[in-house]
Amino acid sequence: MNENLSEAVPVLTTIISRVKAIAIVHDLLSHQASGNNLMDLASILNSISESYKNVASLHFSLSNAIIPYNKALSIALVINELLSNSVKHSMIESQKLEITIVCSQVDNIIHLSVTDNGVGFPEDFETSPHNGIGYDIITNIVESLSGEIKFSYDNGAKTEISFPQSTVYII
């Protein structure tokens, strides 16, 4: 029984973090003026990061990003998955986990990157098969937003996502 419980705890923790990410977007939306379906990405990212502040030091460099509500849910889930993966897979016991989130716009393309100082991705990460639901959530959402995703090593794991401006709006 204890063995089953120890296997269930990480799964339940992951599910709870996904529900929290959705709840954060809904909460922020409920505090906006009626009929306004645009949201500030920085507020969403700051709220999501609260769940991770005890296990990582988070740093942001964000453009003033205003996005539609339905896209905010998608991006919140992607960011939550990336933060969760950094905490689960990238921790080096001898140092505090540092995660940097950058959002910018260049030539009508929105760039979002999440970098940590952990062990990084395996060399064959992009070519090897993946069976995790987190990976599927990330790649399916990026694809649904007509985006591209790249995984690389930059003194830790680095995930770069780009979306056309027509999908996600930045002011």
Q: Set out the domains of the chain in order of their start, with CATH numbers.
A: 2-164 (3.30.565.10)
Residue at 15: amino acid letter: I
Residue pLDDT tens, the chain, 171 long? 556 656 665 655 666 666 676 666 667 666 665 556 777 777 788 888 888 888 889 998 888 777 777 787 888 889 888 998 888 887 777 678 999 999 887 787 888 999 999 888 877 777 777 778 888 889 999 998 899 999 988 889 999 999 887 765 544
For the whole model, what pTM was predicted? 0.80
What residues contact residue 111 under an 8 Å CB cut-off, 6+ apart? 102, 103, 104, 105, 160, 161, 162
Q: Considering only CA atoms, which of 95, 98, 15 is closest in space to residue 49? A: 98
Q: Judging by DSSP bridges, how do beta strands 157-164 and 148-153 pair with one another? A: antiparallel
- pLDDT per position as a tens digit, 140-150: 999 988 999 99
**What average pLDDT does the chain have?**
79
